[in-house]
Amino acid sequence: MTAELKRAARPLDCPCGGAAPNLKSGAKAPRFADCCGRFIDGGALPATAFELMRSRYTAYVLGEADYLRATWAAETCPADLDADPDAPGAPRWLGLAIKRHEAIDATHALVEFVARYKSGGRAYRLHELSRFTRGDDGRWRYVDGDILEG
Ligand SMILES: [Zn+2]
């Protein structure tokens, strides 16, 4: 089986909904190809940590574990990373909101987000403040995050 056959079908509208700080509610989702698809499939590099954050959310929706690994800092990336959306008990992602993007300096940034998902018939909210760093290669990577209440 080739990698091409294994790949999840690409949606027309981007699963991230174009999430951005100050995005108006009810805003129309951008096309996948114009949004996270540029990074996941096209090899373009996100210019900001929040663009990387939403492309990682979309990668979870699509089960793109290779992309998640490639955009995770080597020190914190779990060895047993599994993002198969068809696995039993896997979360079904419902939407992303980006609450805040704070550029600390040229190579460090914070992104606060809420991701909604369902698992085992129950709905959850993942509210996290994530840390990102930018390497010498110009690529932003996820480091880790703190779970926030509410
Ligand atoms: Zn997107």
* pLDDT tens profile 16-30: 999 999 898 888 999
Distance of CA 137 from the midpoint of ligand 1 (Å): 23
Domain range summary for the chain, segments of one domain joined by +: 12-147
- Count other C-beta atoms under 10 Å from residue 48's C-beta: 16
Distance of CA 55 from the midpoint of ligand 1 (Å): 6
The pLDDT of residue 4 is: 52
**In the chain, what's the furthest Cα-to-Cα distance?**
44
Distance of CA 62 from the midpoint of ligand 1 (Å): 12
- With cut-offs at 50, 70 and 90, classify the pLDDT of residue 52: very high
Could you give the CA distance from residue 88 to residue 4 in angstroms, rounded to a whole number?
Answer: 23
Give me the CATH code for the 12-147 domain, please: 3.10.450.50
Is the model's pLDDT at 1 over the cut of 50? no
Is the model's pLDDT at 108 over the cut of 70? yes
Contact 122, 99 (CB under 8 A): no
Distance of CA 12 from the midpoint of ligand 1 (Å): 11
Name, in order, each residue with C-beta under 8 angstroms of 54's C-beta and a sequence gap of 6 or more: 16, 18, 19, 20, 35, 36, 96, 98
pLDDT, tens only, 113-149: 999 999 999 999 999 999 999 999 999 999 999 999 8
Distance of CA 127 from the midpoint of ligand 1 (Å): 18
